[in-house]
Chain A
Amino acid sequence: VPHNPHFPIIAEQDTDLGREVTYMYGQVADRMQACAADSVVFFTSDHYNIFFDTCVPIFSIGVADSTRGPSDYPDLPKYDLRLDPVLARHLQSQVVAAHFDVGMSQEFAVDHTVISPLHFLTPGLTVPVVPIFVSGFMRPLPTAQRCFEFGRALRRAIEEFPGDRRVAVVASGSISLEIGGPRIFEDHHTGVPDPQWLDRVVDLLAEGEFGKLVAHATDSQLARAGNAGGEILDWITMLGMTDPAPPEYLDVQPRFGHAFAAWSPTDGGRR
C-alpha cells in the first residue's frame, strides 16, 4: 500500500479522491481483518527520520514495546502504536543466524510511512506491529534479490516462532515517485518519472511473477523511478514472504505512482 501522509484526511472528504482512497484502502483492510492477525510485520523505508547519514542500516527491526508517530508531520494527529518485541527479537535472532546482518532499534518514533497506512488497515492501531526498516533512500540500496531472500528468511523465522501468532505482512511504499527533485510535475512538487515502470510492476504483480519483478528491479531502474523509487524494495521484501500468485486485489493510482494490492494466505493461515 502507499503512505501519502494526507490520505487519512483526504479520505474523510466528500470528493472523488476521498472516495477512491477509502475504497482502495478498504479493499486491503477487509482482507487484513479477515486474517484476524495477532501481529503485523510492517516493511517501510524510513524517510531520514530515524536513520540519517549519521547511521544507516540496510535492514533494521524495531524491538521496542511501543512507539509513536508520525514524527515528521507535526500538524497531523499523533498515535501511540503497540509493537510486538517478542516476535521482533525472535525474527532478528533467526535472520541473523540465517546470515542476514540485521540491526535493531529499541527507541524510535515512526514517521508517516507507518502511521498513514495503519490508520486504514488496523483501525485504532490496536494490532501490535513489528516494524522492519529497509533502506530505500540512501544509496547504496540493498539489491532486490537480497530483499526477496530476506523476506524468505523472515517467513521461515515466523513459521519457526515457538509462540502462537497469526501474522499479517504489510509493505508501505510507492513504485515511481520523485519528491522535490528535478523530475517533478509542472503543477506539483512531486512527480511520477517512470509511469512505464509503474505499469510493468503492476502487470508483474497481476501475473504473480515475483521472480521477474526482482530481476527487473535493478538499481538503475529504481533510480529512474524517482528519488523514492527504492520504496519498491519494501514490496519486494514482502513478496519474499508470499507464495507467488496473483493478488486477490490490485489497483493503481497512476497520478501518484503507486498501487494497492492484497494477498490472502493460501493455506488458511497456519500460524
Chain B
Amino acid sequence: MSVYAVNKFCRTVVHDQTFRESLRTEPQAALLNAMPPLADDELQALLRGDIGWLSRHGCNNFMLHNLGRFEVLGLDLPTFAARMRAEYRVERESWKRTGEWPERDAGGAAPTTLSEG
C-alpha cells in the first residue's frame, strides 16, 4: 500500500483525458499502466470502486472523489458519496450522538451532480 500511487492516479484522472478514456474502456489495463505502479491491493480496490477501503488505508478523500466526478471505475458522485457514508457509518452515528458533528443535509441547494471545492 503506497497511498501516493493512488493519489497520483486520481490526479491523472483529472488531467489526462486519454487516460480517462482508457480507464473506461479497459480499466484493468489502464490501472496496470498507472505510474507510479499501483500495489496489487490498491489496484483491486480501484477495480471494485471500493473507495471506502482506499480511504481507510489513508488515500486522500478529495482526490478519491475525482473518480466519482469523472465517472470512472463504476462510480459517479452519488455512488461515491453513498459508499463513503457507508464506510464511515459507525463514526458518523457516533459524531451525531456526541454533537461533535451537527449533521444536516444540503437543503436541496446543491445539485448532486455538481462538485464544489
Contacts and interface: CB of A to CB of B under 8 A. Distances in A.
A249 interface: no
Given A182-B88, A186-B105, A188-B106, A4 B62 contact: no
B66 to A, nearest CB: 8
Using C-beta atoms within 8 Å of the partner chain, give the interface range for chain B: 35 or more
Contacts of B104: 185, 192, 195
Contacts, number: 119
Interface stretch (B26-34, B39-47, B95-103): B95-103
Contact of B61 (A6, A182, A192, A195): A182
A180 B116 contact: no
Nearest to A111: B117
Contacts of A179: 61-62, 65, 115-117
B17 interface: yes
A22 interface: no
A182 B117 contact: no
A193 B99 CA distance: 11
B117 A47 contact: yes
Nearest to B65: A180
B64 A5 contact: no
Contacts of B116: 4-6, 174, 177, 179, 190, 256
A104 B110 CA distance: 36
A72 B110 CA distance: 19
Interface in A217-236: 227-228
A188 B82 CA distance: 9
A58 B13 CA distance: 25
B84 A180 contact: yes
Given A180-B68, A183-B101, A189 B78 contact: yes
B62 A137 contact: yes
Interface string B1-40: 0001001100100110100000000000000000000000
A188 B8 contact: no
Interface in A119-137: 137
A184 B84 contact: yes
B73 interface: no
A145 interface: no
B84 A3 contact: no
A181 B77 contact: no
Contact of B87 (A52, A74, A182, A188): A182
B62 A186 contact: no
B117 A185 contact: no
Nearest to A187: B105
B105 A188 contact: yes
A188 B110 contact: yes
Contacts of B101: 183, 193-194
17 contacts: A48-B7, A113-B117, A137-B62, A180-B62, A180-B68, A180-B81, A184-B84, A185-B104, A185-B106, A186-B85, A189-B78, A189-B115, A190-B110, A190-B116, A191-B106, A195-B102, A196-B102
Interface of B: 4, 7-8, 11, 14-15, 17, 55, 60-65, 68, 77-78, 80-81, 84-85, 87-88, 91-92, 95, 101-110, 112, 114-117
Interface of A: 3-6, 17, 47-49, 52-54, 71-72, 74, 112-113, 137, 174, 177, 179-196, 227-228, 255-256
